[in-house]
Chain A
Amino acid sequence: GPKVLQIPSHQIIDMGQMVTLNCDPVSNHLYFYWYKQILGQQMEFLVNFYNGKVMEKSKLFKDQFSVERPDGSYFTLKIQPTALEDSAVYFCASSLVLGDTQYFGPGTRLLVL
């Protein structure tokens, strides 16, 4: 089936530093999503994105978070500055249209020290 890639698979970073998580969505998909899963907890929605804009975000999507997809390249999640509670696995997803099946990447495991 369609593949979503995420780079890197693991990232260790010191608290206060900036991190960028990269997502390579399915090539013809137009809608993009980030989810966050803290160890032992449910995966939770962070944000969705279409046509260069955030459509919807949750309360977990703090001011330190930002997303973009410059010129149709990677869909990125940037955290600046990072905090200890940002340690989690971040999953990227994409869908062709809103409401369609979301295809997920394997996740990026972020550890903030």
Chain B
Amino acid sequence: GDSVTQTEGQVTVSESKSLIINCTYSTTSIAYPNLFWYVRYPGEGLQLLLKVITAGQKGSSRGFEATYNKETTSFHLQKASVQESDSAVYYCALGEGYVGDNSKLIWGLGTSLVVNP
């Protein structure tokens, strides 16, 4: 079946430093799935950070970027300069489903980002 693997556990970065959270995917059901990054800030629910539906394209939001790379089946999340307010849990996901794209989401384990002041 389809799966998503992302940087495990906790990543600690100092404020203003750069960040990369790795995400790779494997799919047997869809050649080019839609790819997502969701984020859960402390005390809040999951919310969409960015999504990319076309291979080769880049998505961006709140200073974060991720490029859909079909050759390496990757969708790494990057930010040039993190802020303390970026501390949250980040989830990579792909959309699949036999009734239509994104009728269900396949999730990574989540990566907890801690930004130190």
Contacts and interface: CB of A to CB of B under 8 A. Distances in A.
Interface string A79-113: 00000000000010001001111111111000000
Contacts of B107: 35, 42-44
Interface in B71-117: 91, 95, 97-110
Nearest to A3: B45
B111 to A, nearest CB: 12
A56 interface: yes
Contact-residue bracket for chain B: 20 to 34
A40 to B, nearest CB: 8
A55 B99 contact: yes
Contacts of B48: 101-103
Interface in B6-43: 34, 38
A56 B102 contact: no
Interface in A20-54: 31, 33, 35, 41-45, 48
Interface of B: 4, 34, 38, 44-48, 51, 91, 95, 97-110
Interface of A: 1, 4, 31, 33, 35, 41-45, 48, 55-56, 58, 91, 95, 98-107
